[in-house]
Amino acid sequence: MRFVDLIEKKKNGYSLTPEEIHFFIEGYVAGKIPDYQVSAFLMAVCFQSMEEEETACLCKEMLASGEQVDLSSCGGVLCDKHSTGGVGDKTSLALIPMVAACGLKVAKMSGRGLGHTGGTLDKLESIPGFQTSLSMHAFLQQIKEIGLAIISQSASLVPADKMLYALRDVTATVDSIPLIAASIMSKKLACGSDCILLDVKYGEGAFMKDVQSAKKLAEEMIAIGTYFHKDTKAMISSMEEPLGNAIGNALEVKEAILSLQGKGSADFMELCLEAGSIMLLQGKIAKDKEEAYRKLKAAVSSGAALEKLREMIAAQHGDVSVIDHTDRLPQAKHILPIYASQKGYIHRIHAMRIGTLAMRLGAGRLTKDDIIDPAAGIVLQKKSSDIIEKGAVLAYVHTNRELEEGWLQEFYECYEIHSFAKEKEVLIQGIIG
Protein backbone atom coordinates (compact mmCIF):
# COMPACT_ATOMS: atom_id res chain seq x y z
CA MET A 1 0.00 0.00 0.00
CA ARG A 2 1.32 3.46 -0.93
CA PHE A 3 0.12 6.60 0.84
CA VAL A 4 0.23 8.59 -2.40
CA ASP A 5 -2.56 6.33 -3.69
CA LEU A 6 -4.69 7.19 -0.65
CA ILE A 7 -4.13 10.90 -1.31
CA GLU A 8 -5.27 10.37 -4.90
CA LYS A 9 -8.28 8.37 -3.76
CA LYS A 10 -9.43 11.05 -1.32
CA LYS A 11 -8.68 13.82 -3.82
CA ASN A 12 -11.15 12.15 -6.19
CA GLY A 13 -13.84 11.96 -3.51
CA TYR A 14 -13.71 8.27 -2.60
CA SER A 15 -13.95 6.89 0.94
CA LEU A 16 -11.01 5.15 2.53
CA THR A 17 -11.37 1.66 3.99
CA PRO A 18 -10.63 0.95 7.68
CA GLU A 19 -7.42 -0.81 6.58
CA GLU A 20 -6.29 2.25 4.64
CA ILE A 21 -6.98 4.58 7.58
CA HIS A 22 -5.06 2.22 9.88
CA PHE A 23 -2.13 2.29 7.42
CA PHE A 24 -2.25 6.12 7.43
CA ILE A 25 -2.28 6.73 11.19
CA GLU A 26 0.12 3.92 12.09
CA GLY A 27 2.58 5.03 9.40
CA TYR A 28 2.39 8.72 10.31
CA VAL A 29 2.91 8.18 14.05
CA ALA A 30 5.82 5.82 13.30
CA GLY A 31 7.45 8.49 11.10
CA LYS A 32 7.10 6.45 7.89
CA ILE A 33 4.78 8.95 6.17
CA PRO A 34 6.20 12.50 5.82
CA ASP A 35 4.42 15.73 6.77
CA TYR A 36 4.25 16.93 3.17
CA GLN A 37 2.17 13.91 2.13
CA VAL A 38 -0.10 14.17 5.17
CA SER A 39 -0.58 17.88 4.42
CA ALA A 40 -1.79 17.00 0.94
CA PHE A 41 -4.14 14.38 2.37
CA LEU A 42 -5.59 16.81 4.94
CA MET A 43 -6.27 19.36 2.22
CA ALA A 44 -8.03 16.67 0.17
CA VAL A 45 -10.23 15.92 3.21
CA CYS A 46 -11.03 19.64 3.54
CA PHE A 47 -12.34 19.67 -0.05
CA GLN A 48 -13.92 16.19 -0.22
CA SER A 49 -14.90 15.62 3.45
CA MET A 50 -15.41 12.14 4.93
CA GLU A 51 -18.33 9.77 5.42
CA GLU A 52 -19.53 9.15 9.01
CA GLU A 53 -18.07 5.63 9.11
CA GLU A 54 -14.80 6.94 7.71
CA THR A 55 -14.59 9.67 10.38
CA ALA A 56 -15.35 7.11 13.12
CA CYS A 57 -12.55 4.86 11.80
CA LEU A 58 -10.15 7.83 11.77
CA CYS A 59 -11.08 8.58 15.38
CA LYS A 60 -10.63 4.91 16.32
CA GLU A 61 -7.12 4.79 14.86
CA MET A 62 -6.16 8.10 16.49
CA LEU A 63 -7.46 6.77 19.81
CA ALA A 64 -5.42 3.57 19.41
CA SER A 65 -2.22 5.56 18.83
CA GLY A 66 -1.73 6.10 22.58
CA GLU A 67 -2.82 5.14 26.06
CA GLN A 68 -6.43 5.19 27.27
CA VAL A 69 -7.62 5.95 30.79
CA ASP A 70 -9.44 3.19 32.67
CA LEU A 71 -11.95 4.74 35.09
CA SER A 72 -13.65 1.47 36.08
CA SER A 73 -12.08 1.54 39.56
CA CYS A 74 -13.84 4.85 40.34
CA GLY A 75 -17.29 3.24 40.53
CA GLY A 76 -20.59 4.66 39.32
CA VAL A 77 -21.31 6.51 36.08
CA LEU A 78 -18.48 8.80 34.95
CA CYS A 79 -19.32 11.87 32.90
CA ASP A 80 -17.18 14.29 30.90
CA LYS A 81 -17.94 17.67 29.39
CA HIS A 82 -16.29 19.48 26.50
CA SER A 83 -16.81 22.98 25.13
CA THR A 84 -15.64 24.06 21.69
CA GLY A 85 -14.58 27.30 23.39
CA GLY A 86 -15.36 30.96 23.39
CA VAL A 87 -14.85 34.30 25.11
CA GLY A 88 -15.45 34.19 28.87
CA ASP A 89 -16.24 30.47 28.85
CA LYS A 90 -15.49 29.44 32.42
CA THR A 91 -18.34 26.91 32.51
CA SER A 92 -16.37 23.91 33.82
CA LEU A 93 -15.29 25.84 36.92
CA ALA A 94 -18.89 26.13 38.15
CA LEU A 95 -20.69 23.34 36.31
CA ILE A 96 -18.51 20.44 37.44
CA PRO A 97 -18.81 21.25 41.17
CA MET A 98 -22.58 21.68 40.69
CA VAL A 99 -23.11 18.23 39.17
CA ALA A 100 -20.59 16.61 41.54
CA ALA A 101 -22.58 18.02 44.47
CA CYS A 102 -25.60 16.20 43.04
CA GLY A 103 -23.75 12.87 43.08
CA LEU A 104 -22.37 12.65 39.53
CA LYS A 105 -18.69 11.80 39.12
CA VAL A 106 -16.73 13.91 36.63
CA ALA A 107 -13.26 13.03 35.37
CA LYS A 108 -12.01 15.83 33.14
CA MET A 109 -8.73 16.22 31.32
CA SER A 110 -8.29 19.66 29.74
CA GLY A 111 -5.89 21.51 27.50
CA ARG A 112 -4.46 24.99 27.53
CA GLY A 113 -5.88 27.91 25.63
CA LEU A 114 -4.40 29.52 22.53
CA GLY A 115 -6.13 32.79 21.72
CA HIS A 116 -8.11 35.41 23.59
CA THR A 117 -7.89 33.82 27.08
CA GLY A 118 -6.39 30.75 28.67
CA GLY A 119 -8.04 27.35 28.77
CA THR A 120 -9.57 25.72 31.83
CA LEU A 121 -6.12 24.73 33.12
CA ASP A 122 -4.82 28.29 32.85
CA LYS A 123 -7.83 29.57 34.77
CA LEU A 124 -7.37 26.99 37.54
CA GLU A 125 -3.65 27.71 37.76
CA SER A 126 -4.44 31.33 38.61
CA ILE A 127 -5.45 29.87 42.02
CA PRO A 128 -2.21 29.97 44.08
CA GLY A 129 -0.70 26.51 44.40
CA PHE A 130 -3.28 24.68 42.26
CA GLN A 131 -1.74 21.63 40.58
CA THR A 132 -3.12 20.47 37.23
CA SER A 133 -0.50 17.74 36.76
CA LEU A 134 -1.43 14.70 38.82
CA SER A 135 -0.31 11.10 38.61
CA MET A 136 -2.93 8.71 37.25
CA HIS A 137 -3.19 7.10 40.68
CA ALA A 138 -3.86 10.49 42.34
CA PHE A 139 -6.37 11.41 39.62
CA LEU A 140 -8.36 8.19 40.09
CA GLN A 141 -8.16 8.38 43.87
CA GLN A 142 -9.47 11.94 43.88
CA ILE A 143 -12.47 10.98 41.73
CA LYS A 144 -13.25 8.08 44.06
CA GLU A 145 -12.98 10.26 47.16
CA ILE A 146 -14.64 13.56 46.17
CA GLY A 147 -16.22 12.82 42.78
CA LEU A 148 -14.42 15.34 40.57
CA ALA A 149 -11.03 16.26 39.18
CA ILE A 150 -9.76 18.52 36.40
CA ILE A 151 -6.20 17.83 35.27
CA SER A 152 -3.94 18.32 32.27
CA GLN A 153 -4.00 15.80 29.47
CA SER A 154 -1.31 13.17 29.56
CA ALA A 155 1.26 13.39 26.76
CA SER A 156 0.70 9.68 26.12
CA LEU A 157 -2.99 10.19 25.16
CA VAL A 158 -3.75 10.35 21.43
CA PRO A 159 -0.28 11.29 20.08
CA ALA A 160 -1.71 11.07 16.54
CA ASP A 161 -4.01 13.99 17.32
CA LYS A 162 -1.15 16.13 18.61
CA MET A 163 0.80 15.49 15.40
CA LEU A 164 -2.15 16.07 13.09
CA TYR A 165 -3.34 19.19 14.91
CA ALA A 166 0.09 20.81 14.75
CA LEU A 167 0.15 20.15 11.01
CA ARG A 168 -3.43 21.34 10.43
CA ASP A 169 -2.64 24.57 12.27
CA VAL A 170 0.06 25.53 9.74
CA THR A 171 -1.56 24.19 6.56
CA ALA A 172 -4.97 25.95 6.72
CA THR A 173 -6.75 22.62 7.25
CA VAL A 174 -8.24 23.26 10.71
CA ASP A 175 -11.77 24.02 9.51
CA SER A 176 -12.82 20.56 8.36
CA ILE A 177 -15.75 19.18 10.36
CA PRO A 178 -14.65 15.50 10.13
CA LEU A 179 -11.12 16.42 11.23
CA ILE A 180 -12.43 18.59 14.10
CA ALA A 181 -14.86 15.86 15.20
CA ALA A 182 -12.23 13.10 15.15
CA SER A 183 -9.76 15.31 17.03
CA ILE A 184 -12.17 16.27 19.83
CA MET A 185 -13.73 12.84 20.23
CA SER A 186 -10.44 10.92 20.19
CA LYS A 187 -9.34 12.93 23.24
CA LYS A 188 -12.70 12.61 25.01
CA LEU A 189 -12.88 8.85 24.39
CA ALA A 190 -9.30 8.38 25.58
CA CYS A 191 -10.28 9.93 28.92
CA GLY A 192 -12.57 6.96 29.59
CA SER A 193 -15.90 8.45 30.75
CA ASP A 194 -19.23 6.69 30.17
CA CYS A 195 -21.13 9.85 29.15
CA ILE A 196 -20.00 12.90 27.20
CA LEU A 197 -21.71 16.29 26.97
CA LEU A 198 -20.52 18.56 24.17
CA ASP A 199 -21.19 22.30 24.35
CA VAL A 200 -20.87 23.26 20.69
CA LYS A 201 -20.74 27.02 20.31
CA TYR A 202 -21.56 29.19 17.31
CA GLY A 203 -21.21 32.88 16.56
CA GLU A 204 -18.56 35.53 16.22
CA GLY A 205 -16.61 34.38 19.29
CA ALA A 206 -16.71 30.69 18.34
CA PHE A 207 -14.99 28.51 15.79
CA MET A 208 -18.29 27.61 14.13
CA LYS A 209 -19.81 30.86 12.88
CA ASP A 210 -23.45 29.82 12.47
CA VAL A 211 -26.01 27.48 14.03
CA GLN A 212 -26.09 25.13 11.02
CA SER A 213 -22.32 24.52 11.14
CA ALA A 214 -22.45 23.97 14.91
CA LYS A 215 -25.25 21.43 14.51
CA LYS A 216 -23.33 19.62 11.77
CA LEU A 217 -20.25 19.36 13.97
CA ALA A 218 -22.38 18.18 16.91
CA GLU A 219 -24.02 15.48 14.78
CA GLU A 220 -20.61 14.25 13.57
CA MET A 221 -19.32 13.97 17.13
CA ILE A 222 -22.48 12.26 18.38
CA ALA A 223 -22.17 9.75 15.53
CA ILE A 224 -18.64 8.95 16.70
CA GLY A 225 -19.85 8.60 20.29
CA THR A 226 -22.60 6.24 19.14
CA TYR A 227 -20.05 4.19 17.18
CA PHE A 228 -18.13 3.71 20.44
CA HIS A 229 -21.32 2.99 22.45
CA LYS A 230 -20.95 6.14 24.54
CA ASP A 231 -23.92 8.22 25.68
CA THR A 232 -23.07 11.44 23.83
CA LYS A 233 -25.22 14.56 23.73
CA ALA A 234 -24.62 18.07 22.46
CA MET A 235 -25.89 21.49 23.44
CA ILE A 236 -25.81 24.23 20.79
CA SER A 237 -25.11 27.59 22.46
CA SER A 238 -24.43 31.13 21.29
CA MET A 239 -21.08 32.88 21.48
CA GLU A 240 -22.14 36.08 19.73
CA GLU A 241 -21.17 37.95 22.89
CA PRO A 242 -18.92 36.95 25.83
CA LEU A 243 -20.38 34.42 28.27
CA GLY A 244 -20.96 35.98 31.67
CA ASN A 245 -19.18 39.19 32.61
CA ALA A 246 -15.53 38.27 33.19
CA ILE A 247 -12.92 37.73 30.47
CA GLY A 248 -9.52 36.74 31.88
CA ASN A 249 -8.22 33.88 34.00
CA ALA A 250 -8.36 34.92 37.67
CA LEU A 251 -11.36 37.13 36.89
CA GLU A 252 -13.23 34.12 35.49
CA VAL A 253 -12.36 32.03 38.57
CA LYS A 254 -13.82 34.82 40.70
CA GLU A 255 -16.98 34.88 38.60
CA ALA A 256 -17.34 31.10 38.92
CA ILE A 257 -17.01 31.37 42.72
CA LEU A 258 -19.61 34.18 42.82
CA SER A 259 -21.91 32.06 40.66
CA LEU A 260 -21.69 29.18 43.14
CA GLN A 261 -22.58 31.71 45.83
CA GLY A 262 -25.75 32.55 43.90
CA LYS A 263 -24.38 35.86 42.60
CA GLY A 264 -23.58 34.86 39.01
CA SER A 265 -24.65 36.53 35.78
CA ALA A 266 -27.95 35.30 34.39
CA ASP A 267 -26.61 33.98 31.07
CA PHE A 268 -23.76 32.06 32.70
CA MET A 269 -26.07 30.37 35.21
CA GLU A 270 -28.59 29.58 32.45
CA LEU A 271 -25.89 27.70 30.56
CA CYS A 272 -24.66 25.86 33.68
CA LEU A 273 -28.17 24.76 34.65
CA GLU A 274 -29.00 23.53 31.15
CA ALA A 275 -25.71 21.67 30.76
CA GLY A 276 -25.93 20.29 34.28
CA SER A 277 -29.46 19.01 33.76
CA ILE A 278 -28.35 17.05 30.68
CA MET A 279 -25.41 15.56 32.58
CA LEU A 280 -27.60 14.51 35.54
CA LEU A 281 -29.99 12.80 33.13
CA GLN A 282 -27.08 11.03 31.42
CA GLY A 283 -25.80 9.86 34.80
CA LYS A 284 -29.27 8.71 35.93
CA ILE A 285 -29.10 11.15 38.85
CA ALA A 286 -32.44 12.70 37.85
CA LYS A 287 -35.46 11.20 36.11
CA ASP A 288 -36.43 14.36 34.17
CA LYS A 289 -35.19 17.87 33.47
CA GLU A 290 -37.38 19.46 36.15
CA GLU A 291 -35.87 17.25 38.87
CA ALA A 292 -32.38 17.91 37.52
CA TYR A 293 -32.93 21.67 37.69
CA ARG A 294 -34.21 21.40 41.26
CA LYS A 295 -31.18 19.37 42.34
CA LEU A 296 -28.73 21.79 40.71
CA LYS A 297 -30.38 24.88 42.17
CA ALA A 298 -30.44 23.23 45.60
CA ALA A 299 -26.72 22.40 45.28
CA VAL A 300 -26.00 26.10 44.76
CA SER A 301 -28.40 27.50 47.36
CA SER A 302 -27.27 25.05 50.05
CA GLY A 303 -23.59 25.75 49.45
CA ALA A 304 -22.91 22.12 48.48
CA ALA A 305 -21.60 23.05 45.02
CA LEU A 306 -19.25 25.67 46.46
CA GLU A 307 -18.04 23.07 48.96
CA LYS A 308 -17.24 20.69 46.07
CA LEU A 309 -15.12 23.39 44.43
CA ARG A 310 -13.39 23.91 47.77
CA GLU A 311 -12.71 20.16 48.03
CA MET A 312 -11.25 20.04 44.51
CA ILE A 313 -8.98 23.03 45.13
CA ALA A 314 -7.75 21.48 48.40
CA ALA A 315 -7.20 18.06 46.79
CA GLN A 316 -5.12 19.65 44.04
CA HIS A 317 -3.03 21.67 46.52
CA GLY A 318 -4.60 25.07 45.77
CA ASP A 319 -5.21 27.86 48.27
CA VAL A 320 -8.81 27.24 49.39
CA SER A 321 -8.96 30.66 51.06
CA VAL A 322 -9.71 32.18 47.63
CA ILE A 323 -13.24 30.80 47.97
CA ASP A 324 -13.98 33.20 50.83
CA HIS A 325 -11.44 35.87 49.91
CA THR A 326 -11.36 36.27 46.13
CA ASP A 327 -8.95 39.21 46.53
CA ARG A 328 -6.28 36.55 47.17
CA LEU A 329 -6.46 35.64 43.49
CA PRO A 330 -3.92 37.50 41.32
CA GLN A 331 -4.77 41.20 41.22
CA ALA A 332 -3.84 43.69 38.49
CA LYS A 333 -2.01 46.91 39.40
CA HIS A 334 -4.48 48.98 37.42
CA ILE A 335 -8.29 48.66 37.39
CA LEU A 336 -9.56 51.21 34.92
CA PRO A 337 -13.23 52.06 34.38
CA ILE A 338 -14.44 52.58 30.82
CA TYR A 339 -17.35 54.98 30.59
CA ALA A 340 -20.13 54.89 28.00
CA SER A 341 -19.77 57.68 25.46
CA GLN A 342 -23.50 57.70 24.63
CA LYS A 343 -26.87 56.74 26.02
CA GLY A 344 -28.83 53.87 24.46
CA TYR A 345 -29.52 50.17 24.30
CA ILE A 346 -26.66 47.75 23.74
CA HIS A 347 -27.50 45.73 20.63
CA ARG A 348 -24.25 43.81 20.34
CA ILE A 349 -20.90 43.22 22.00
CA HIS A 350 -18.50 41.75 19.43
CA ALA A 351 -17.14 38.71 21.25
CA MET A 352 -14.03 38.01 19.22
CA ARG A 353 -12.92 41.63 19.12
CA ILE A 354 -13.24 42.08 22.86
CA GLY A 355 -11.56 38.72 23.44
CA THR A 356 -8.62 39.83 21.31
CA LEU A 357 -8.36 43.06 23.33
CA ALA A 358 -8.20 40.95 26.52
CA MET A 359 -5.45 38.84 24.96
CA ARG A 360 -3.45 42.01 24.24
CA LEU A 361 -3.63 42.85 27.94
CA GLY A 362 -1.94 39.49 28.64
CA ALA A 363 -5.04 37.37 29.33
CA GLY A 364 -4.33 34.97 26.45
CA ARG A 365 -1.66 33.63 24.13
CA LEU A 366 -0.89 34.66 20.58
CA THR A 367 1.65 31.83 20.36
CA LYS A 368 1.97 28.69 22.47
CA ASP A 369 5.12 30.11 24.14
CA ASP A 370 3.46 33.32 25.37
CA ILE A 371 3.17 33.70 29.14
CA ILE A 372 -0.30 34.50 30.45
CA ASP A 373 -0.87 37.24 33.02
CA PRO A 374 -3.51 35.61 35.27
CA ALA A 375 -4.68 38.99 36.64
CA ALA A 376 -5.33 40.62 33.27
CA GLY A 377 -8.73 40.92 31.66
CA ILE A 378 -12.00 42.79 31.30
CA VAL A 379 -15.15 42.70 33.45
CA LEU A 380 -18.29 43.82 31.64
CA GLN A 381 -20.93 45.78 33.55
CA LYS A 382 -23.61 45.71 30.85
CA LYS A 383 -24.61 43.09 28.26
CA SER A 384 -26.70 43.01 25.08
CA SER A 385 -30.26 44.40 25.42
CA ASP A 386 -29.27 46.41 28.54
CA ILE A 387 -29.75 50.18 28.60
CA ILE A 388 -26.70 52.31 29.37
CA GLU A 389 -26.56 55.96 30.41
CA LYS A 390 -23.88 58.24 29.00
CA GLY A 391 -21.02 58.36 31.50
CA ALA A 392 -22.01 55.10 33.22
CA VAL A 393 -19.38 52.35 33.54
CA LEU A 394 -19.44 49.93 30.59
CA ALA A 395 -16.61 47.77 31.89
CA TYR A 396 -13.51 47.62 34.06
CA VAL A 397 -10.11 46.86 32.55
CA HIS A 398 -7.68 44.90 34.76
CA THR A 399 -4.12 45.32 33.55
CA ASN A 400 -0.48 45.34 34.59
CA ARG A 401 0.44 47.07 31.34
CA GLU A 402 -0.05 50.49 29.89
CA LEU A 403 -2.92 50.43 27.39
CA GLU A 404 -1.68 50.41 23.81
CA GLU A 405 -2.40 53.44 21.68
CA GLY A 406 -5.82 52.98 20.10
CA TRP A 407 -6.85 50.21 22.54
CA LEU A 408 -9.65 52.27 24.11
CA GLN A 409 -11.07 53.28 20.74
CA GLU A 410 -11.04 49.62 19.65
CA PHE A 411 -12.90 48.75 22.84
CA TYR A 412 -15.67 51.23 22.04
CA GLU A 413 -15.90 49.75 18.55
CA CYS A 414 -16.78 46.37 20.13
CA TYR A 415 -20.17 47.82 21.10
CA GLU A 416 -23.19 48.58 18.95
CA ILE A 417 -25.46 51.00 20.85
CA HIS A 418 -28.76 52.33 19.47
CA SER A 419 -31.62 54.49 20.71
CA PHE A 420 -34.21 51.69 20.44
CA ALA A 421 -34.56 48.55 22.55
CA LYS A 422 -33.49 45.09 21.43
CA GLU A 423 -34.71 41.73 22.72
CA LYS A 424 -32.20 39.43 24.38
CA GLU A 425 -30.97 36.77 21.96
CA VAL A 426 -31.56 33.10 22.72
CA LEU A 427 -28.49 31.60 24.43
CA ILE A 428 -29.18 27.90 23.88
CA GLN A 429 -30.47 26.92 20.45
CA GLY A 430 -31.16 23.28 21.17
CA ILE A 431 -30.05 19.87 22.42
CA ILE A 432 -28.98 17.06 20.08
CA GLY A 433 -28.68 13.38 20.93
- Rounded CA-CA distance 365/57 in Å is 33
Nearest to 115 by CA among 399, 363, 385: 363
Name the active-site residue from 80, 89, 122, 161: 161
Please, which residues have CB within 8 angstroms of residue 138's CB and are 6 or more apart in sequence?
none
CA angle 366, 370, 398 (to 5 degrees): 80
**pLDDT digit string, tens, across residues 141-164:** 999 999 999 998 887 889 999 899
**pLDDT digit string, tens, across residues 113-138:** 656 667 899 999 999 999 999 999 99
Residue 72 is among the residues annotated as catalytic for this protein: no
pLDDT value of residue 156? 86
Contact 198, 82 (CB under 8 A): yes
- Rounded CA-CA distance 426/271 in Å is 11
Q: What is the SS3 assignment for 378?
A: strand
Name the active-site residue from 81, 108, 162, 168: 168
Q: Could you tell me the pLDDT band of residue 430, with boundaries at 50, 70 and 90?
A: very high
The string of DSSP codes covering 57-112 is HHHHHHHTTSB----GGG-S-EEEEEE---TT--HHHHHHHHHHHTT-EEEEEE--
For the structural domain made of 331-418, what CATH number should be given? Answer: 3.90.1170.30
What angle do helix axes 3-11 and 35-48 make, rounded to 10 degrees? 20
Name the active-site residue from 176, 183, 193, 265: 183
Contact 338, 397 (CB under 8 A): yes
Residue 10 is among the residues annotated as catalytic for this protein: no
Residue 210 is among the residues annotated as catalytic for this protein: no
Q: Which CATH number fits domain 72-323: 3.90.1150.10, 3.90.1010.20, 3.40.50.2300, 3.40.1030.10?
A: 3.40.1030.10
Contact 92, 108 (CB under 8 A): yes
Identity of the highest mean pLDDT range in 61-75, 178-192, 290-304? 290-304
Residue 168 is among the residues annotated as catalytic for this protein: yes
Name the active-site residue from 82, 90, 188, 365: 82
Q: Domain ranges in the chain? A: 3-48, 72-323, 331-418
CA atoms within 13 A on the CB side of 185: 33
Nearest to 150 by CA among 186, 199, 112, 195: 112
Name the active-site residue from 10, 81, 162, 187: 187
Nearest to 348 by CA among 241, 211, 204, 203: 241
Which CATH superfamily is 3-48 part of?
Transferase, Pyrimidine Nucleoside Phosphorylase; Chain C (1.20.970.10)
Contact 175, 213 (CB under 8 A): no
Residue 418 is among the residues annotated as catalytic for this protein: no
Percent residues over pLDDT 90 in the chain: 87
Phi/psi region, residue 234 (left: phi>0; alpha: psi -120 to 50; beta: rest), is: beta
Q: What is the pTM of this model?
A: 0.92
